[in-house]
Amino acid sequence: MASHLGVSALLRSNTVIFEIIKLFGAFYLSYLAWGAFKAKPIQVKGNTENFNDNKKLIKKGLIMNLSNPKVIIFFLAFFPQFTTNNVNAIPVSLQLLCLGLLFVCIAFIVFALISYLSGFLNSAISNNPSIQTALNKITCLIFIALAVNLLISQF
């Protein structure tokens, strides 16, 4: 974090460097726009699903989330707001367990819906070159708009 503060202090004190970085950013966005404009539709062949790979991905995701200190800090900071330690209340540890399980259930439902929708959209997009072309053009326009906005904000 200290390095980020040092970089932001440097950029704040030297506006020329900041303007040059913004200019390079605008050119890079233009380059990405050109790449999206020139992109050809991709034809996906065959079924690439492999159950063993999916199990490995689920295991990797679980390990990453359980060992991520940001997730632990989030839960330690967020959940205690919704607990009470009254004498007649459920023990705090049980309250936290219930909140954690509720969070897991909600996250599972949301991610399952996202996965289902992603699979549906993938099959719709991968089999339709005109949709791929349209999405590439939309991406191109978004990158151009961002580049123009960056250039306009510079002057």
Residue 105 falls within a domain, yes or no? Answer: yes
pLDDT of residue 3: 58
Per-residue tokens: 91: 């023990």
Does residue 22 lie in a domain region?
yes
CA distances from 37 to 23, 26, 30, 31, 140 (A): 21, 16, 10, 10, 6
- Residue 93, in any domain of the structure: yes
Asked, for residue 2, whether it belongs to a domain, the answer is no
Both tokens of 134, joined, read 């349209």
The candidate with the shortest Cα–Cα distance to 95, out of 85, 87, 104, 105, is: 85
pTM for this prediction: 0.56
Nearest CA to 95 out of 82, 114, 111, 113 is that of: 82
* Model confidence pLDDT, tens digit, residues 119-136: 888 888 888 889 999 999
Asked if the structure places residue 12 within a domain, the reply is yes
Question: Given a cut of 90, is residue 149 above it in pLDDT?
Answer: yes
The predicted-structure confidence for 15-24, as pLDDT tens digits, reads as follows 888 888 889 9
- The pLDDT mean for the chain works out to 84
Check whether 107 has a pLDDT greater than 80.
yes
- What 3-state class would DSSP assign to 29? helix
Neighbours of 33 (CB within 10 A): 19
Is 1 contained in some domain?
A: no
Domain enclosing residue 104, as ranges: 7-152
Domain count, the chain: 1
Give per-residue pLDDT as tens, 22-64: 899 999 999 999 999 999 888 766 665 555 677 888 888 888 8
| Cα dist from 132 to 90, 118, 139, 144, whole Å | 54, 15, 10, 18
